[in-house]
Amino acid sequence: MYTTITREFTLTGLDNEQTAKAIEQALQKIKGVKRAKTNLAKRTLSIEFSEDSSIKNTIELVTSTVRKIQPQVSFVQDTAEKRNIVYLNGLGCSA
């Protein structure tokens, strides 16, 4: 069993796909980030954190990385979207 912690952010100032992809690629290189996905149409950023990461410290790295790529882009965590997903490996069907 492993846990994936996902956080959703609302982006402002992001206006092109090339920048969105650059942000995704840069964030996925940060230790503790399993996946980063932008949605340009909705102006959102979804980040999956590894269970062993310090989310607060990782978010600080995410913030500085985004600002280096596109200084006018800012984002706010959507508190309603906090989710912890638990995957159960090897679970058979119930009878």
Q: pLDDT (tens digit, 9 = 90+) per residue, 14-48?
A: 888 999 999 999 999 998 899 999 998 888 899 99
Give the residue carrying structure tokens 């979804």.
46
Sign for the CA dihedral angle at 13, 14, 15, 19 comes to positive
Contact 23, 36 (CB under 8 A): yes
Q: How confident is the model at residue 91 (pLDDT cuts 50, 70, 90)?
A: very low
pTM score, whole prediction: 0.74
Which distant-in-sequence residues (6+ apart) come within 8 Å of 94 by Cβ? Answer: none
Tell me how far apart the alpha carbons of residues 28 and 40 are, in angstroms, rounded to a whole number: 17
19-23, 64-68, 80-84: lowest mean pLDDT where? 80-84
Q: What integer pLDDT is reported at residue 88 of this predicted model?
A: 45
E-assigned strand segments in 13-93: 33-39, 44-49, 74-77, 83-87
